[in-house]
Amino acid sequence: MSFESLGLSHHIIKSVRKLGFLKPFPIQEQTVPVILSGKDLMGIAQTGSGKTACFVMPILEKLQNEDVKKDRNIQVLVLAPTRELVIQIDEVFRAFTENLKREIRTMAVYGGVSINPQMKGMFGVEVLVATPGRLLDLIEHKALSISKISHLVIDEADKMFQLGFEEEMNKLIAMMPSKKQTVLFSATLNDKVQEIKKRLTINPVLVEIKAEEVDLDKITQLAYHVTEERKGPFLRYLLKEKNIRQALVFTSSTRSADNLAEKLKKNKIPATAVHGKKSQGSRSGNLRGFKEGET
Ligand code: AMP
């Protein structure tokens, strides 16, 4: 199947090519036509399945044919549980807005950074990707309104509940119009997700993509039994002797993450710590360094 056969125009396909996508992933084949048709959707899929493009492509396809609205009413609202996910989703929207019929402004908002630039930048934004808490703050500051949205996407709905966003979600839902297209994505369909699905969607099409079986043959698992004081030196030995180009190391506390990164750096191993006590700016920078292979 091709992207064209899903009902996407060359405006979107041009970005698809630029991103290097050769053909749609199974979840995209199943969801893009549904969203284009205007029906509600409940997708069961994990991160890595290609679910972001599932809603980004058809929503922009439709939005580009609508008139520009220059005010503080958001058209498309995407809610996601973490800052990292919000940033990732916004990046995908930006990649797909490059070749549209008209300019569509998107914005990512999340907590942990100053609210002022987000307030100032809101005028004329049509697609907003947000974490629930910061979105509520912005609405209280009258920076925007979600009372006229035409599309709602809730990504990683199960994680929203796990992270305790239920109250914020309820407040936000009360501010939305009842007539809108709703797309929900979740890794699991637990009771809470079922409940929100029932509340928000009308006869949703259910699409489920099973997580691919992990190919265990490609993974070598090893355990080393070492004493507490030998852990650090042993890790450095492993990284150097086994010529490990990149490694992700999990620690039990933010302090030990910081200490470990410092020790590694002292031993000329470019390392960085990422955890919830760091500012968003430094977390993003550190993750970028890791992705680009500097760390
Ligand atoms: P997601 O689950 O949305 O985070 O996507 C996982 C990864 O798959 C991202 O790096 C996407 O850029 C990539 N991806 C999404 N759709 C396709 C596709 N049709 N072909 C190749 N890569 C894709």
Main-chain phi, psi angles of 276, to 5 degrees: -65, -15
Beta-bridged to residue 129, according to DSSP, are 78, 108
Domain residue ranges of the chain, discontinuous segments joined by +:
4-208, 222-291
CA of 257 to the centre of ligand 1 (A): 30
Going residue by residue through the chain (295 aa), what tens digit of pLDDT does each one get? 899 999 999 999 999 999 999 999 999 999 999 999 999 999 998 888 899 999 999 999 999 999 887 899 999 999 999 999 999 999 999 999 999 999 999 999 999 999 999 999 999 999 999 999 999 999 999 999 999 999 999 999 999 999 999 999 999 999 999 999 999 999 999 999 999 999 999 999 999 987 664 455 667 888 999 998 899 899 999 988 888 889 999 998 999 999 999 999 999 999 999 988 888 788 888 888 888 888 9
Beta-bridged to residue 127, according to DSSP, are 76, 106
CA of 50 to the centre of ligand 1 (A): 4
Give pLDDT, residue 214: 46
Q: Which atom of ligand 1 is nearest to the CA of 24?
A: 19
Residue nearest to atom 14 of ligand 1 (CA): 50
CA of 60 to the centre of ligand 1 (A): 17
Residue nearest to atom 1 of ligand 1 (CA): 50
Reported in sequence order, the residue ranges of the chain that DSSP labels E, i.e. its strands, are: 41-44, 76-79, 106-109, 127-130, 151-154, 181-186, 205-208
Residue 223 CB coordination number (10 Å): 5
Answer whether 97 contacts ligand 1 (Cβ < 6 A): no
- Kindly give the pairing relationship between strand 41-44 and strand 106-109: unpaired
Answer whether 49 contacts ligand 1 (Cβ < 6 A): yes
Q: Which atom of ligand 1 is nearest to the CA of 25?
A: 19
Answer whether 21 contacts ligand 1 (Cβ < 6 A): yes
CA of 231 to the centre of ligand 1 (A): 37
Continuous segment of H or E residues that includes residue 265: helix 254-266
Answer whether 46 contacts ligand 1 (Cβ < 6 A): no
Answer whether 55 contacts ligand 1 (Cβ < 6 A): no
Answer whether 290 contacts ligand 1 (Cβ < 6 A): no
pTM of the model: 0.79
CA of 24 to the centre of ligand 1 (A): 9
Instruction: Give the Cα separation of 96 and 99 in Å (integer).
Output: 7
> If you average pLDDT over every residue of the chain, what do you get?
92
- The CATH topology of domain 4-208 is Rossmann fold (3.40.50)
